[in-house]
Structure 1
Amino acid sequence: MNDNLTPAPAPAPHSAWEDAQGLLTGCLFVALGVCLFREAGLFTGGTTGVAFLAHYLLGYSLGGVLFVINLPFYVFGWRKLGHLFTLKTFAAVGLLSAYVELLPRWIGFTHLNPVFAAVMAGLLAGTGILILIRHGASLGGVTIMAVYLQKSRGWRAGNVQMAVDFAILLMAFACTDASKALLSLLGAVALNLVIGVNHRSDRYYGV
């Protein structure tokens, strides 16, 4: 028999335990990336980037703003991407918000190279987001829109995320010095490179 004619088996759905560890692990990776960005005084894209603006300029709690700013996107996710996806996303954003506030109590940095911080934070955040997507969740905001456009129109989620992130990060140039703004863009490239290469509409969504 020609193996090329043998249909691939349907992917088995993730168990509740697998989804739970995916959310816990993915959010922790993203939160560590966010802490690296914050420690280096950098920005990131998406709704997290907007939360950074409120945190830096107004002194608001980063985790608190991150949770509140995502609330409107749950309505869209509920209607377009399903109840389970939206509930998982709500849980993921809540976990991320908690991690962001707790991690400074658990880890600190005596020296942090800003270039390394930008690249490593982007890679960590991108990997965490990829884990969440593959477990049928997201971190709300732009990611909800990116996943919807990938499923409905075949646009790569990483490309959509990158385009919006760059638009948001342009605001960083008005809020910080040019070197930090450019490093923030470098972090966004690292983040979206992970998603763009590893999450394609013709390969795997994760259920």
Structure 2
Amino acid sequence: MSPADPHFTPGKPHSLVEDLYAFAIGCSFVVLGLVWLKSAGLVTGGMAGVALLLSYLIPLSPGLLFTFLNLPFLWLAQRSMGTAFMLRTAFANFAITGLALLAPSAFRLTDLNGPFAALFGGTIIGMGILALARHHAGVGGLGIVALTLQRRRGWNAGRTSLIGDAFILAASIPVLAPRQFLLSVLSAAAISGVLIAYHKPGRYTGY
């Protein structure tokens, strides 16, 4: 439904409680997906994939790398999406890092099924990104670029992210075993599938 539709009614702004609850869900989902993929030795798309890939090369956690990588993109978030979006994105990123650092002391994953880890990890990261995007926040550099292009040019965020994912996955070929690489492609497809299916302009009227 679009604003031109006679039955269109603007969505009510989210309350502070609704925003905080969505941030708690979205950040937790992203972290849980990262933990699943890291435990299975996989990579995925977006900045989460870059953080995972680097975590196999240098002795830093994906959560910490995630925030370091995203800091330069906060300027783009402010310029293209506004100060409120930038502040919400910064809050989400630091929350994700904090939760990721706490995750090892909260639970441990063993004996993971690779295909399930890829599908579950990718899907739940996608749902986390979706929850945050619908409450006017991004989770990473490529996500910010995708959301900016969707807002300015109407490009679907999922399809735009898919292009960036292809480059990230290509960079992981020298690092991952063939099976891990194929499962990583599956995880990236799961993330993009969620965004392509559910993150469309006009489908969601809240903000």
TM above 0.5, one fold? yes
Q: Secondary structure at the match of 1:12?
A: coil
What is the deviation of 1:7? 2.9
* Counterpart for residue 69 of structure 2: 69
Residue identity opposite 1:172 in structure 2: S
Q: Secondary structure at the match of 1:44?
A: coil
What is the deviation of 1:161? 0.9
Moved over 6 A (4+): none
1:52 maps to 2:39: no
Distance 1:125 1:31 in 2: 8
> Which stretch has the larger CA shift, 19-28 or 61-70?
61-70
Size of the alignment, in residue pairs? Answer: 203
Q: Secondary structure at the match of 2:174?
A: helix
What is the deviation of 1:206? 3.8
* Counterpart for residue 171 of structure 1: 171
Q: Per-residue displacement from partner, 1:146-185 (whole Å, max 9, x unpaired)?
A: 0000011110001011111121111111111111011000
Pairwise CA RMSD: 1.3
1:62–1:101 Cα contact (<8 Å) kept: no
Q: Secondary structure at the match of 1:58?
A: coil
* Structure 1 alignment gaps of length 5 or more: none
Q: Tell me the percent identity.
A: 38
* Counterpart for residue 105 of structure 1: 105
What is the deviation of 1:205? 6.2
Task: Give the structure-1-normalised TM-score.
Answer: 0.94
2:36–2:109 Cα contact (<8 Å) kept: no
1:27 maps to 2:27: yes
What is the deviation of 1:39? 0.4
Distance 2:91 2:163 in 1: 26
Q: Secondary structure at the match of 1:108?
A: coil
Q: Secondary structure at the match of 1:175?
A: coil
* Counterpart for residue 194 of structure 1: 194
Counterpart mapping for 1:18-167 below 5 A? 18-167=18-167
Q: Per-residue displacement from partner, 1:85-114 (whole Å, max 9, x unpaired)?
A: 110000101111111121121121232101
Distance 2:175 2:36 in 1: 18
1:50–1:168 Cα contact (<8 Å) kept: yes
What is the deviation of 1:17? 1.3
Residue identity opposite 1:65 in structure 2: L
* Structure 2 alignment gaps of length 5 or more: none
